[in-house]
Amino acid sequence: MIQPAVVHYALEAMAVELREVAVPDIGDADVLLRVGAVSVCGSDVHQAYNTHSWPVNVPVVLGHEFAGTVASAGGRVRHFHEGDRVVCETAAEVCGECVLCRTGRYNLCPHRRGFGYGIDGAMAPYVRVPARCLHHIPGTLPFELACLAEPHAVAYNAMCVNSTVRPGDLVVVLGPGPIGLLCARMAALAGADPLIVAGRSADAPRLETATRLGATQTVDVDRDNLNEIVRGFDPLGADLVCDATGASGPLAAALSLARPGGQITKVGWSPDVVAIDVNPLVQKNVHLQGTFSHNYPVWERVIHLLDRRATLPDAIVGAALPLAGWREAFTAMHDGRVIKSVLVP
């Protein structure tokens, strides 16, 4: 059987097209998933523009943020049956043997390969997934919102697992992209106040969304002095700076914004290599934390939050388009016209 799929086929800019590919066969421990909705990630857009910083196994079907219905299940699959509504984690392959896998931190397994860059993803009507990646979702959660579980899990892991946010903490989020906005929302739910979200002039619509999601103040760094604004709230600086810019340079700003004894959580990444004065890290005893991906308990939490609409997901989702509209879906995100595009294969 043949199906259309959005395929990233070469390591050059805009080497993405809608192609006919085979509907995958499944193994004993796999499920064939009928994709209900797949959201476009900033990383999909990076791959399409060839500005990504991770190895990609071309040709590969894009898409790692997805929800759908079990179409068929392999012989050793026990907990998922035809017709079950599910979302799928992104760690398509892990070794299962290393200490990280054995302690539930399989997102950090050195052998991890994810959907959409290492393994064929979900921008197609059908995708093959290992059953261990699945979570059931409630009937009250539509696929168009459920597919946002993955970026929610990134933000939850960044702000609620790898960082500590207490009510009344001064939190600054740099970069109002989809992940930055979701990080801001998680910080708001955790009680951050003041909660400052900073972006560029071109981010004006996204900064408006940040306010809807609970930011107490937004800052256009092209126009205003973020450092002065933060120190207007507390001369010592921020308890937590979340760097969700997807660039390396803003780490310098984060180091100057963090208070002595404060935290920096870096969630976005890029191929840039920059020279940064790291002395403030030492002098201020700052806790600098990377955060990558997510694991099972994080997914269970974000499915609940999404079902409760606690994260205001409707403020994030833009247009839902058919698979053939992938180019518009990608460019709308790249140009900042929508925060999150969704494809319905």
Stretch that binds Zn ion, among 11-19, 38-46, 220-228, 299-307 (CB under 5 A): 38-46
State in angstroms the smallest separation of the CB of 127 from Zn ion.
Answer: 15
Say whether residue 339 binds Zn ion (CB under 5 A).
Answer: no
Burial of residue 37 (number of CB atoms within 10 Å: 0-12, 13-18, 19+):
buried
User: Is 152 or 259 the residue whose CB approaches Zn ion more closely?
Assistant: 152
Q: Which of residues 181-220 bind Zn ion (CB under 5 A)?
A: none
Q: Which of 126, 108, 138, 118 is nearest to 55 (CA)?
A: 118
Min dist CB 211 to Zn ion, Å, is 24
Shortest distance in whole angstroms from residue 179 CB to Zn ion: 8
What is the rounded distance in angstroms from the CA atom of residue 115 to the CA atom of residue 127?
A: 10
Total number of residues binding Zn ion (CB under 5 A)? 6
Tokens of residue 317, six digits? 């989702």
Closer of 153 and 196 to Zn ion (Cβ) = 153
In the bound complex, what is the minimum distance in angstroms from residue 262's beta carbon to Zn ion? 27
Whether residue 179 contacts residue 154, with contact meaning beta carbons closer than 8 Å, is answered with: yes
Give the three-state DSSP class for 207.
helix
- Residue 100 CB, nearest approach to Zn ion (Å): 5
Contact set for Zn ion, span 102-161 (CB under 5 A)? 109
- Kindly tell me which of 101 and 255 has the beta carbon lying closer to Zn ion: 101
Q: Which is nearer to Zn ion, 41 or 133 (CB)?
A: 41
Angle at 341 between CA 295 and CA 127, to 5 degrees: 55
Contacts of 39 by beta carbon, 8 Å cutoff, 6+ apart: 65, 66, 147, 148, 150, 151, 317, 340, 341, 342, 343
Between 286 and 299, whose beta carbon lies closer to Zn ion? 299
| CB nearer to Zn ion: pick between 104 and 322 | 104
Smallest gap from residue 265 Cβ to Zn ion (A) = 17
Distance of CA 325 to the CA centre of its chain: 21
Query: What span, in angstroms and rounded, lies between the C-alpha atoms of 238 and 260?
Result: 9
User: Taking contact as CB under 5 A, which single stretch among the options 35-43, 80-88, 117-125, 254-262 is the one that binds Zn ion?
Assistant: 35-43
Q: Is 41 in the site for Zn ion (CB under 5 A)?
A: yes
176 closest CA partner among 217, 135, 136, 117: 217
180 vs 280, which CB is nearer to Zn ion?
180
φ and ψ at residue 187, rounded to 5 degrees: -65, -40
- The interface with Zn ion within residues 70-109 (CB under 5 A) comprises 94-95, 98, 101, 109
Question: Are the C-beta atoms of residues 303 and 87 closer than 8 Å to each other?
Answer: yes
Binding mask 238-267 for Zn ion (x = CB under 5 A): ------------------------------
Interface positions with Zn ion (CB under 5 A): 41, 94-95, 98, 101, 109
